[in-house]
Structure 1
């Protein structure tokens, strides 16, 4: 039995015709026993703006800032246990000093910065990513580096990402990964799409950077785009569980 649906926002449940959003909300309402979680690279204020921009269903929890933030319920109560764990591994000031010295690293938009996340915007090539890793390693910074949408470079504490935040949430709720469907479209979704046991969905409009995930047995590639693809993938995994 599927107990939780976890969705990226931009390009996954957002995008396409406005009617898709209405259809998705009705789908969530029909499956009223299902926990609906949004997992995004956006900051919390940004994802709240995004959800309020259309007729989106209210999530039971929001994983934001590429997994470094976790909030619950209508009042968005912060998960202090998770945030305490993240804070212990973060030296923001020194990271900014190091990365701002690299001429190719891109710009920082204040709207995209999180308490435990640095985001730079700009086109990078593989040699740039390698150089960033080298600088961070030389300065003993254990962080995760994620480049997605061919534009966003996210720096987060090592081992802190959408998948670890989701694992923490599942443990706290007593839900097994096998009881979860996860949907996404880009590289910053990769960790949760490949979390052992979960039933993953790549929406039809996914980025080439995650196309290789289609080779994995627990990844369903939807024909539908955006939220249509999410619903299609969810129903596929729901049927699979009913047969097994």
Structure 2
């Protein structure tokens, strides 16, 4: 296994990983990110979030590396220029929505600039607070007939789990699907997931994947763990996620990101106050 001295790129999930449960980037995290740059290690972000809610976090950390939105369906440079995109065909969207409708749960739609919902509920309110922007509720029906970057099936976790099984059973060669949270099933076009993010970001930066470290907390991070040389699971991750990573750090509310970077990427080179 590569040592921390071999790592040239670190790719980080955001929610439940880089930020706390209160959606904050701590001072220790900022210091750890700065230490990465001091050591010549680039830092990129990979999230199920849309690009517009990733950019403020990237700016807060003064990042200049490309990042991946929608679990890799959109890859952008730090200045916002899109360098890779994938689209879900309208007929596939219709089939995913039909499955969700059977369970009476929602489907959110995402393109490069907007988030579309059919109506407001507690799930929408919570996501609006997390993402920092409001959904479009006027064009939902129209957008169902267009190409989209990502769909999110949303509802009670037990219903989303059942819908996930149906999506995989009925669309095995047409979509990729994974849960970023128990209440969310993120659907992208076939072959697009965080594992492909590792390959794409490494290629963009001219770095081999055996010099990449990754960190995350959710089931959608597992494919990322499998592609990277060094993988770090957050302390609050479920056991199935931890089992795939080759390292486990503290939780996101116990400075797990900064501690994981210091121990497994910087090799004990700690930030002040850690």
TM over 0.5: yes
Is 2:127 aligned against 1:100? no
SS of the residue 1:108 aligns to: strand
Which residue does the alignment assign to 1:77?
81
C-alpha separation in 2, matches of 1:241 and 1:101 = 50
Deviation, 1:192, is 0.4
CA contact (8 A) 2:97 2:107 kept: no
C-alpha separation in 2, matches of 1:2 and 1:227 = 24
**What are the within-5 Å matches in structure 2 for residues 188-207 of structure 1?**
188-195=220-227, 197-206=228-237
C-alpha separation in 1, matches of 2:30 and 2:92 = 40
Which residue does the alignment assign to 2:188?
156
Gaps of 5+ in 1: none
Q: TM-score, normalization: structure 2?
A: 0.71
CA contact (8 A) 1:201 1:230 kept: no
Deviation, 1:34, is 1.9
CA contact (8 A) 2:8 2:207 kept: yes
Deviation, 1:241, is 11
Structure-2 change in CA distance of 1:188 and 1:213 (3 Å): closer
Is 2:247 aligned against 1:215? no
Q: Which has the higher helix share?
A: 1
Which residue does the alignment assign to 1:134?
169
Structure-2 change in CA distance of 1:213 and 1:28 (3 Å): same
Deviation, 1:235, is 2.7
SS of the residue 1:101 aligns to: helix
SS of the residue 1:10 aligns to: coil
C-alpha separation in 2, matches of 1:40 and 1:146 = 12
Gaps of 5+ in 2: 1-5, 117-146, 270-274
C-alpha separation in 1, matches of 2:25 and 2:56 = 18
Which residue does the alignment assign to 1:45?
52
Is 2:34 aligned against 1:29? yes
Which residue does the alignment assign to 1:144?
176
Q: TM-score, normalization: structure 1?
A: 0.79
Which residue does the alignment assign to 1:117?
150
Deviation, 1:49, is 4.8
